[in-house]
Amino acid sequence: MPYSDYRPDLMGTARLSPSGSFEAGSMQSFTLVYTAGAFGVDDTGSIKIGFRFATDFGPVQFTDPKAPGYTTVEASNGATLEAKWEFKRNIRPWSRSLYIGVVKDFLKPGDTITIRFGDRRSGSPGIRLQTYCESAFEFRVLVDPIATYDYVALPDSPKIAIVPGAGVRWRAVLPTMVRAGEPFRLSIKADDKWGNPSNIMDRTLRLAAEGAVAGLPANLRFMPGSFAAVADGLTVAEPGDLTIRVLDEKGEELVRSNPLRIVARETPLVHFWGDTHGQSNETLGTNTAREYFEFGRDKAFLDVMGHQGNDFQITGAFWRELNILSKEFDKPGSFVCIPGYEWSANTAVGGDRNVHYRHEGETIHRSSHAQIADATDIVDEGSDAHTAHELFEKLKGKDCVVMAHVGGRYADIKFAHDPLETAVEVHSAWGTFEWIVRDAFEKDYRVGIVANSDGHKGRPGSCYPGASFFGSYGGLTCFLAERLGRDAIFESMRRRRHYATTGNRAVISVTAETATPAEVFDRDPATGPAKAQDSRKLLMGDIARIADEEVELAVEVLGSAPIEQLDLFDGLDLIETVRPYAAADLGARVRLVYEGAEYRGRARTTTWDGRLTIAGNQIERTGVINNWNLDRGIQKQDPASVAWKAVTTGNYGAIDLWLKTPGAGRLAFQTAPVSGEAAIADLGVAPLVFEAGGLERAVKLQRLPETMTERRMVLRRRIKVRPKGDTRLFIRVQQEDGHRMWTSPIYLFRG
């Protein structure tokens, strides 16, 4: 949205060289020449070159000619120019901007300003392009020729294409659960070093199944120009488990697929994976809405998607376009596409909520029209909802569900909540937010738990944070549904039958078995009359009235990597932590964990740049957990010390050390939030915690087995049911590779 639309044809022109396509994250040098238009540019007038909110282009700097990002500006008439690289000083979505002011002089029509991004003339390696792909990366030029600070966008700003590099990280995706005899597919891609699916691979892949499968080819060609190689029409006749190994031409393993559970034909519910929360460039994201849906379906291999643009940027025309797209992409049996939007109010009046409609053609009830010039629908329909209370009131009777999430503005569910709000979002590319789950428990709400990307980089379902302030990889939600169709997915949402992950695909089953039949409600009976049926087996998300004083909880996890631990909760209370190893299995491996956030709001990022030293032992090798930014991670290492850079935004990261002698020596660490030390012999299975203030910030030290191999955990426990109030049973699982999963609670009450 420009400041002004006054005569853009008189504001001048801009040209960029070189032009064309460039590899994401590569170092480049660009020259942009702005030529003043009919007004020239007055003394203290200026231009801005804007870049989208989510970009990690740059950063731009003006002081070190030999360093990355060095940028110069000069006027053809010798006018003095002032340059500033500004963060969130321009109207969104063009939040990043280079400000160039004309001081002590002016430009006449035809005079030029030359900007060299990554000026290599004095030794700079150039400037780094953003690390994710964009079909039309724009250098948006805005001009204030009359020195009024009322900018006008040029009618045509320079654009380039940002494309993927060579694949370095292979991904092999299977469904998580299918019925015996039903066809499924194996999808393989290769992400470049920044997480972009590559289309420049030329490989013949060998496939090896661990488990019986029909129709699997021995070899699969990954063709140049393709973003994926797919083996379709696979089947398994009988129940069991399956993984597929992808090998190179020499037989070396490139990647192992996520696990697939094949269940009996009569199984009522199977698993489908979704990311229902992200944006495209019509609001605050990257690439078009069509490209957004195509990426999730074809490059992230999602089953379920939604688009959630900020409501105060969704024009009437774009809302109609989104509804057309969701109807076009929705294909029952193969892909579910859900119409909706993000209600984006300030936290003081409710905070962000995701509204998902079951049908197209519904009204968008915006939190405001802050960036929409056309406000006719406010008058015509009285459509705006300025508080969460108003939103829920306007949504009553509509065929929709709402989810509370934490982004720039976090949802305050203690301020407002409604039964339409079926879930809270525990994880996204913005971080991990277990506190919003606890908020719900403290208010005795009955909600499910989801995770999504909330992605702004055009990579729904596979959302790496790049080199920006986003702190984690985007999440996924696994829906338990009868079939892949919008009606079945909405029933899954309404009954909270889903679990959340930090982006991996694992098989999880949590059931509660009763001695006598329980009354299982299809909706929350606390909010009004609800239908019920009797059952002795309760699933995640169920709300049930039971007569028994205890239930038998059955848990099975089939991880996408070795399992580190499983935590069993009753609401706010941790019942038990179970690990597939004991103290006798510990070896010479030590893990330092850093986790937490500054606070709940936008500036939640905690910087954990630090150093550790080992005395009386030696470091033989190291590993990094949940390091999503190539600029961070381990910076220096020797046998006695490690230095690293890291951030968290409510999630966690870790440094693993494999030492020469198990249990020997002493470890000391230093970070800005907290420092500490411990004898390695004093570390055990349970972590030693060093509290660091903020929001659940801490450093933890513990020992681990040198190698973990157990990918399956089975647990059965007798659980007492509270005599009053809800018993809320759910699990959190942590894998060795850093991924976490949370199941929606089973809600039990007596009487």
Q: Is the dihedral of CA 561, 565, 568, 569 positive or negative?
A: negative
pLDDT at position 380: 63
Q: What are phi and psi of 5, to 5 degrees?
A: -115, 25
Both structure tokens of 640: 């006695």
Could you tell me the pLDDT band of residue 107, with boundaries at 50, 70 and 90?
very high
pLDDT, tens digit (0-9, with 9 covering 90-100), for 628-646: 988 999 999 999 999 999 9
Report pLDDT digits (tens) over 383-414: 899 999 999 999 999 999 999 999 889 999 99
pLDDT at 582 over 80: yes
Give the C-alpha separation, 185 to 232, whole Å: 4
Segment 145-172 mean pLDDT: 97
Q: What is the pLDDT of residue 498?
A: 98
Alpha carbon distance 599, 310 (integer Å): 23
CATH level 2 (architecture), domain 8-163? Sandwich (2.60)
How much is the average pLDDT of 186-204?
Answer: 97
Strand, helix or coil at 80?
Answer: strand
Structure token pair of residue 610 = 């630090």
Q: Is the pLDDT of residue 381 over 70?
A: no
Tokens 């090896």 sit at which residue? Answer: 208
Closest CA to 397 of 358, 431, 369, 371: 358
Residue 653 has pLDDT above 90, yes or no: yes
CA 35 to chain centre: 41
For 516-580+719-751, CATH gives 2.60.40
Q: What is the pTM of this model?
A: 0.96
Share of the chain above pLDDT 70, in %: 99
Amino acid at 186: L
Domain 272-503 has CATH 3.20.20.140: yes
Q: Is 581 exposed, middle or buried (0-12, 13-18, 19+ CB in 10 A)?
A: middle
pLDDT value of residue 626: 96
Give the whole-angstrom CA distance, residue 9 versus residue 5: 10
DSSP state of 546: E
Reference 609, options 586, 582, 636; nearest CA is 636
CB contact at 8 A, 318 and 1:
no
Distance separating alpha carbons of residues 436 and 601, to the nearest angstrom: 12
Spatial CB neighbours of 10, under 8 Å, sequence gap ≥ 6: 37, 38, 39
- Could you tell me which of 56, 32, 27 has the C-alpha nearest to residue 123? 27
Fold entry, domain 585-704: Immunoglobulin-like (2.60.40)
Q: Would you state the pLDDT for residue 735?
A: 98
Confidence at residue 373, expressed as pLDDT on a 0 to 100 scale: 81
What pLDDT score was predicted for residue 394? 96
Looking at every residue in the chain, the average pLDDT score rounds to 96
* Residues, the chain: 751
Give the model's pLDDT for residue 155: 96
Average pLDDT over residues 644-670: 97
Q: What percent of the chain has pLDDT over 90?
A: 93
CATH superfamily of 169-177+185-265: Immunoglobulins (2.60.40.10)
The pLDDT, as a whole number, for residue 468 is: 73
Residues 6 or more apart whose Cβ sits within 8 Å of residue 533: 519, 520, 522
Tokens read off for 89: 């000083």
User: Which is more confident, 267 or 2?
Assistant: 267
Neighbours of 8 (CB within 10 A): 17
Buried b (16+ CB within 10 A) or exposed e, 208-235: ebeeebeebeeebebeeebbbbebeebb
| Single-letter amino acid code for the residue at 529 | P
Query: Given this model, what pLDDT does residue 403 score?
Result: 98
Predicted confidence (pLDDT) at residue 35 exceeds the cutoff of 60: yes
Query: Is residue 568 scored above 90 in pLDDT?
Result: yes
Q: Count CB-CB contacts under 10 A for residue 9.
A: 11
Containing H/E element for 720?
Answer: strand 712-720
How far apart (Å, rounded) are the C-alpha atoms in residues 228 and 209? 19
pLDDT digits 0-9 by tens, 338-366? 999 999 999 999 999 999 999 999 999 99
Q: How far is 582 from 586, CA to CA, in rounded Å?
A: 7
Rounded CA separation 30/99 (Å): 17
Q: Domain boundaries in the chain?
A: 8-163, 169-177+185-265, 272-503, 516-580+719-751, 585-704
Output the six-digit token pair for 512: 């509660």
For 704-739, how does the pLDDT look when each residue is reduced to its tens digit (9 = 90+)? 999 999 999 999 999 999 999 999 999 999 999 999
Instruction: Give yes or no for residue 1 having a pLDDT over 60.
Output: no
Average pLDDT of the segment spanning 66-84: 97
On the question of a cis peptide bond just before residue 93, with omega within 30 degrees of 0, the verdict is: yes
C-alpha to C-alpha distance for 242 and 375, rounded to whole angstroms: 54
Q: Say whether 272-503 and 169-177+185-265 share the same fold.
A: no
